[in-house]
Amino acid sequence: MPFSSLGFSPALLPALLRVFAEKGYLAPTAIQSAAIPAILDGRDVVGSAQTGSGKTAAFALPMLQRLAELPTQAPRRVSGLVVVPTRELAAQVGESIVSLSKYLPQRVKVAVVFGGVSINPQMMNLRGGADIVVGTPGRLLDLIDHNALNIATVNTLVLDEADRLLDLGFGEELGRIIGLLPVLRQNLFFSATFPPAIESLAESMLRTPLRIEVRAEPQTVPDIVQRAIEVDAPRRTQLLRHLIQSEGWSRVLVFVATKHAAEIVADKLRKADIEAEPFHGELSQGKRNQVLQDFKLEILQVVVATDVAARGLDIAQLPVVVNYDLPRSAVDYTHRIGRTGRAGESGVAVSFLSADTSAHFRLIEKRQHISVPREQIAGFEPVDTENFLGAPASNGGIKGKRPSKKDKLREAAARDQLQHKG
């Protein structure tokens, strides 16, 4: 299906085709083919598709057509509102919309707003209005409370990465924002996954929506090799350093559970002469931008991040993702490992399993309908092996030296001696 068959107006189509040619887009993606005609018809849409499937263009292009149809001298009012969970995703979506609109006859003003930075420049930018606003819930409400933003004219609401919005506790803020919008509007929900909480929200807000679920086709499934390495928890940093050096990983995105862990692990890697920086929600926006820029330019070899980096980051040719701490859910696992193997590249996703987390990883496997072979790396074999029962036998990947029968007898004797001393 060509772009010309999606229903764009003759006045808009040449400008869009010019952008598509520059970006190398030969044909619309599956989610774009299914969603764009329905959105242009004014329908509410619930769209589910894998990360990197073109969801942003699917909701942005119809908004741009609606703006292109306005009179040239019409006052600038907020027509489209895109709510996202993170600063990085806000910036990425905003850049994409600006890029798609570059050849339109009328300039489209896109305002990107998020917390963690001074509100004053964003208030100044909103003077004179905006056509499309992309932002995180908290900052949107701050701007509304400062009378810098009026969303009473919005005719299209987009919740992008809708599941993450609720997962991060934005339910109350979303409720306030929705209460300030016009009752008659178009609602578009886009996300890679739709858990029950989002389904419930969709049922309460959307009017006979078109539900679109685009499953990954074999040729578009990310080429990600998943590995699960058993290691005692206190030795994870040593193992991480060993793998970086022995396997020649040029860049690694490491996921940890807390801001404190991000700081500690990054500091230990720096002491081992590995260029590493933490990345978490308590860093200033300037620092976060600098870390990402240095990572993209390969000045940094390792970024140690909390789940704030699991969505919205697009690091070209990122070869390796490591789950130093396992994610809380199978959905988060999908988004974490989806930072590698993007745009046709291959990637590796490594998860560290300790005795305390092995059962949780088996639950992730069950919900993801996968089975990841277990590995042990020579010199890092876990001592505490009791809770590893039930793990799939290794059938590939790196096979470290497993303890021999004599080794196990020695360990048992050592434990007996410790007990007698106690």
Contact in structure between 362 and 330 (CB atoms under 8 Å): no
**Which uninterrupted H or E stretch holds 252?**
strand 252-255
Assigned token pair, 404: 């021999």
Name the residue with tokens 């690694």: 252
The reply to whether CATH 3.30.70.920 applies to domain 222-413 is no
Per residue of the chain (422 residues), what is the pLDDT tens digit?
Answer: 688 889 888 878 888 888 888 877 788 888 899 999 999 999 999 988 766 678 899 999 999 998 888 776 667 899 999 999 888 889 889 999 999 998 888 889 999 999 888 999 999 999 989 999 999 999 999 999 999 999 999 999 999 988 778 766 788 898 899 999 999 999 999 877 777 777 887 888 888 888 988 765 544 456 889 999 999 999 999 999 999 999 999 999 999 999 999 999 999 999 999 999 999 888 887 888 889 889 988 899 999 999 876 555 667 788 999 999 999 888 788 888 888 876 567 889 999 999 999 999 999 999 888 999 999 999 999 987 666 655 444 433 333 344 444 445 555 554 454 444 44
Number of C-alpha atoms within 13 angstroms, CB side, residue 145? 9
Write down the domain spans for the chain. Answer: 3-61+74-214, 222-413
Q: Is the dihedral angle over the CA atoms 59, 62, 68, 71 positive or is it negative?
A: negative
* 3-61+74-214 and 222-413 agree in CATH topology: yes
Q: What's the pLDDT at 329?
A: 85
**What dihedral do alpha carbons 232, 235, 240, 243 form, nearest 10°?**
-80
Residue 381: Cβ within 10 Å count: 17
The rounded distance, in Å, linking the Cα atoms of 325 and 354 is 10
Q: What's the pLDDT at 10?
A: 84
CATH code for residues 3-61+74-214: 3.40.50.300
Could you tell me how many residues make up the chain? 422
Contact in structure between 132 and 123 (CB atoms under 8 Å): no
Q: What's the pLDDT at 405?
A: 47
Q: What's the pLDDT at 387?
A: 60
